[in-house]
């Protein structure tokens, strides 16, 4: 199957040509002191969508053309709809923060039909670069709306002020292409692929290019250097629009890795740093797939993404329960076919995962 080292490839053959996307990615600008410029070009008056913990240190970048600030408190669609009704009049939306601020900014821009400017403050997910807002309704995730920002502004110095783990965990949303590719091919071979998403080796090869660019820069990403920020954010930029650009298909990006995250949320009732929990799911999935788990684990160790349950605020027993419940959960939640359907998580496997996990991150 596709191989994380890049040395060998049984599925994504190097001979497979990449068929370039026919739809654009979002305009993205890298630089310094970008936040202070927003008040000079965002349509006035503007609404800032951000988080309570960020605003006090960033408020001084905005001037008297600020119509208001929406502090993100909920991703629940019904709650958010009511909150948006209470907002003042404004002419543009500035998203300022991590994935949640980006998603809510998209939703508000969509419902009020105003221009959108996105300023991510961390590299956690590809939310700044995707069309739809990932919200919740009735306890389930829903990707809703349509928002193409005028620009996504990535300020190197702002990104570097985010907690290190938040930034570094962003690699997992790209590294997981490794396990996703195995799952898509497996579904194809088992006759279980979705009719609308037949296995496409060109798409897999295109995703592989982004995965390889991140793998080649893990040390820079760990250091959150300019080069590391550029590499990871450009991979996110591709991944963000790839869902739309592949015909609302994420098979080349998400697999058992994300299934495990959703199962872990269900089992524990808790929320996690997205990439960190996806990282654990990716390692569990690679073990189940017998798809170079040691290389997956080594990439996480090198990047400094600790995926031990304790590092994400849960116990080993909770993480292990989610592993044992995975096969049940994916049918309960009606997720697409992955290795979780094809192979049981045995006690031996859970024990091997535990031993290797604690030996790696000690
Ligand atoms: Zn993800």
Domain boundary among 118, 149, 180: 149
Rounded to whole angstroms, what are the CA distances from 295 to 14, 64, 237?
20, 52, 25
Q: 63 alpha carbon to ligand 1 midpoint, in Å?
A: 34
Q: 253 alpha carbon to ligand 1 midpoint, in Å?
A: 8
189-202 pLDDT tens trace:
999 999 999 999 99
Domain boundary among 121, 149, 177: 149
Main-chain phi, psi angles of 144, to 5 degrees: -130, 145
Q: Which residues are 50's β-sheet partners?
A: 71
Find out whether the peptide bond into 321 is cis, omega within 30 degrees of 0: no
DSSP 177-228: HHHHHHHHHHHHHTT-S-TTS---HHHHHHHHHHHHHHHTTHHHHHHT-HHH
Q: Kindly state whether residues 243 and 318 are assigned to the same domain.
A: yes
Domain of residue 131 covers 28-149
Confidence of residue 13 (pLDDT cuts 50, 70, 90): low
Q: Could you tell me if residue 108 is inside a domain?
A: yes
Q: Kindly state whether residues 136 and 217 are assigned to the same domain.
A: no
Q: Kindly state whether residues 87 and 235 are assigned to the same domain.
A: no
Protein residues near ligand 1, an ion, with CB under 5 A: 173
Q: 300 alpha carbon to ligand 1 midpoint, in Å?
A: 16
Q: Rounded mean pLDDT of 65-87?
A: 96
Q: Kindly state whether residues 127 and 185 are assigned to the same domain.
A: no
Q: Kindly state whether residues 59 and 177 are assigned to the same domain.
A: no
Phi-psi region of 144 (alpha: psi -120 to 50; beta: other; left: phi over 0): beta
> Residue 295 sits in a domain of what CATH number?
1.20.1090.10
Higher-pLDDT residue of 212 and 8 is: 212
pLDDT value of position 20: 79
Whether residue 90 contacts residue 56, with contact meaning beta carbons closer than 8 Å, is answered with no
Does residue 9 surpass a pLDDT of 70?
no
Q: Kindly state whether residues 56 and 190 are assigned to the same domain.
A: no
Record the tokens describing residue 133, joined without a space.
Answer: 């807002």
Q: Could you tell me if residue 187 is inside a domain?
A: yes
Q: Kindly state whether residues 168 and 136 are assigned to the same domain.
A: no
Q: 43 alpha carbon to ligand 1 midpoint, in Å?
A: 31
Contacts for 218 with CB less than 8 Å, ≥ 6 apart: 171, 299, 302, 303
Q: 173 alpha carbon to ligand 1 midpoint, in Å?
A: 5
176-187 pLDDT tens trace:
999 999 999 999
Q: Kindly state whether residues 84 and 212 are assigned to the same domain.
A: no
pLDDT value of position 18: 81
Does residue 89 surpass a pLDDT of 50?
yes
Q: Kindly state whether residues 41 and 138 are assigned to the same domain.
A: yes
Q: 11 alpha carbon to ligand 1 midpoint, in Å?
A: 23
Record the tokens describing residue 338, joined without a space.
Answer: 């992955």
pLDDT value of position 139: 67
Q: 125 alpha carbon to ligand 1 midpoint, in Å?
A: 7
Q: Kindly state whether residues 59 and 143 are assigned to the same domain.
A: yes
Q: 90 alpha carbon to ligand 1 midpoint, in Å?
A: 31
Q: Kindly state whether residues 259 and 224 are assigned to the same domain.
A: yes
Q: 62 alpha carbon to ligand 1 midpoint, in Å?
A: 31
Q: Could you tell me if residue 159 is inside a domain?
A: no
Q: Could you tell me if residue 287 is inside a domain?
A: yes
Give the whole-angstrom CA distance, residue 215 versus residue 99: 23
Domain boundary among 117, 149, 181: 149
Whether residue 178 contacts residue 55, with contact meaning beta carbons closer than 8 Å, is answered with no
**Percentage, residues of the chain above pLDDT 90:** 91
Q: Rounded mean pLDDT of 260-274?
A: 94
Does residue 10 surpass a pLDDT of 50?
no
Q: 280 alpha carbon to ligand 1 midpoint, in Å?
A: 12
Q: Could you tell me if residue 9 is inside a domain?
A: no
> Residue 61 sits in a domain of what CATH number?
3.40.50.1970
Report which of 324, 320, 307, 314 is spatially closest to residue 269, judged by C-alpha positions.
314
The number of domains in the chain is 2
Q: 248 alpha carbon to ligand 1 midpoint, in Å?
A: 15
């Amino acid at each position: 199957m596709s191989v994380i080292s890049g040395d060998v490839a049984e599925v994504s053959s190097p001979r497979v040509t990449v068929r370039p996307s026919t739809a654009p990615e979002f305009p993205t600008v890298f630089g310094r002191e970008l936040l202070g410029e927003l008040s000079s070009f965002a349509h006035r008056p503007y609404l800032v969508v951000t988080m309570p913990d960020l605003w006090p240190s960033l408020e001084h970048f905005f001037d008297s053309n600020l119509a208001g600030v929406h502090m993100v408190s909920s991703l629940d669609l019904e709650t958010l709809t009511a909150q948006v009704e209470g907002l003042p009049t404004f002419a543009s939306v500035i998203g300022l923060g991590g994935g949640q601020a980006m998603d809510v900014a998209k939703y508000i821009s969509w419902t009020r039909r105003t221009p959108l400017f996105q300023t991510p403050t961390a590299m956690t997910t590809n939310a700044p670069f995707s069309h739809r807002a990932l919200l919740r309704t009735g306890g389930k995730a829903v990707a809703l709306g349509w928002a193409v920002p005028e620009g996504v502004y990535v300020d190197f110095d702002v990104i570097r002020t985010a907690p290190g783990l938040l930034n570094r965990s962003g690699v997992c949303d790209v590294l997981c292409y490794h396990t996703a590719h195995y799952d898509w091919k497996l579904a194809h071979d088992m006759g279980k692929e979705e009719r609308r998403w037949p296995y496409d080796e060109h798409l897999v090869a295109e995703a592989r290019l982004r995965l390889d660019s991140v793998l080649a820069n893990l040390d820079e990403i760990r250091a959150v250097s300019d080069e590391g920020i550029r590499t990871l954010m450009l991979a996110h930029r591709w991944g963000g629009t790839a869902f739309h650009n592949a015909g609302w298909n994420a098979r080349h990006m998400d697999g058992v890795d994300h299934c495990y995250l959703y199962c872990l949320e269900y089992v524990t009732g808790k929320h996690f740093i997205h990439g960190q929990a996806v990282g654990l799911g990716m390692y569990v999935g690679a073990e189940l797939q017998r798809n170079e788990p040691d290389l997956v684990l080594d990439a996480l160790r090198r990047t400094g993404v600790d995926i031990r349950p304790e590092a994400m605020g849960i116990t080993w027993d909770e993480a292990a329960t989610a592993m044992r419940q995975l096969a049940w959960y994916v049918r309960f939640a009606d997720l697409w076919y992955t290795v979780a359907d094809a192979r049981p998580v045995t006690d031996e496997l859970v024990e091997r995962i535990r031993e290797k996990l604690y030996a790696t991150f000690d």
